[in-house]
Amino acid sequence: MTLNRNAAAALSALWLFSTCAAAEVDLGSLDILARDNPKSPVPKGFVVGAATLSGQARYKDQDNSTYFIPGGLYFGDNLMYLGDRARYYFRLDDNVALYGYGRYRFGNLDPSDADSLHGMDKRKGEFEAGIGGTIITPYALLTARFASDVTGRSNGQELLLWADFPIVRDNLLVMPGMGMMIRSHNMANYYFGGVSKEEATPQRKAWDTGTTFSPMAAVVTSYRFSQHWMGLFAANYELYDKDIADSPIVQHSGEFYVIAGVGYTW
């Protein structure tokens, strides 16, 4: 058994999303892997520590950034809290996990960030809620999760389809994963490159992303140094749907992020 999509945030969830909202690194069913023993790569209970996050900026003329971020997270029997998001499991056994999901998505575009973004509306944060499920097999976790804006900000939705393939050897976890993020046109236009007619200029044409399909891949390694200390290195890549990549305000064909962290548990 293991974690669901992008354990790249396994140790860094709070740090990542609280400080660098532009990074679209999803969190997963980390607590499915969590064990209350001194060798588990993902321990039960609280973890506090610090992480370094480095990655690509989404919008044109924004600079790539590296952040050093302190923080913490919690893995319980039914509740997982990871800074900007939480899960509550109403069923969790050796075969199936079913849960309710909530997330605060931080805003990711400020017109003052770059001259090329002047005239754009600021993309503000929103609260999202949804449900998800994971089929647990001896070799993989197969996950589907749906979430929707409930604040009226973007009025958008997203569907994540993901498979993780964990290898756990005592205190070491190595886990590749891959999947697809499907975003509604409202979600993609608000947070991933849409330009309304009111935001358009002679140098920046109006752009409608439509519904988008973005393949993603991740790999994470987590190592338990001792009963109280653990470390993590992970990477995540999202290949943008063509209608995101071709937006007049998006600067790359995808996003790549790397995270390294150290944490203390008791």
- Whether 29 has a pLDDT exceeding 80, the answer reads no
Q: Does a structural domain hold residue 53? A: yes
Range of the domain at 30: 7-265
- Whether 136 has a pLDDT exceeding 50, the answer reads yes
Q: Does a structural domain hold residue 148? A: yes
Give every CB contact of residue 167 below 8 A, 6+ residues apart in sequence: 173, 174, 175
Number of domains in the chain: 1
Q: Does a structural domain hold residue 2? A: no
**pLDDT confidence band for 253 (50 / 70 / 90):** very high
Q: Tell me the CATH number at 32.
A: 2.40.160.40
Q: Does a structural domain hold residue 20? A: yes
> What is this structure's pTM?
0.86
The pLDDT tens digits of the residues spanning 162-188 come to: 999 989 999 999 989 999 999 999 999
**146 in Cβ contact with 135 (< 8 Å):** no
For 225-261, give the DSSP string. -SSSEEEEEEEEEEE--HHHHTSTTB-SSEEEEEEEE
For 76-97, what is the mean pLDDT?
90
For 42-66, give the DSSP string. SBSEEEEEEEEEEE--SBTTPPPEE
Q: Where are the beta strands (DSSP E) in 60-152?
A: 65-75, 79-81, 85-92, 96-105, 126-136, 141-149
**222 in Cβ contact with 170 (< 8 Å):** no
Q: Does a structural domain hold residue 175? A: yes
Closest CA to 7 of 170, 132, 174, 256: 174
**pLDDT confidence band for 11 (50 / 70 / 90):** very low
Q: State the amino acid at position 76 in one-letter form.
A: G
CB atoms within 10 A of CB 204: 18
Alpha-carbon distance of 47 to 30, in angstroms, equals 13
- Whether 10 has a pLDDT exceeding 50, the answer reads no
The tokens describing 198, both together, are 């009111």
pLDDT at 26: 53
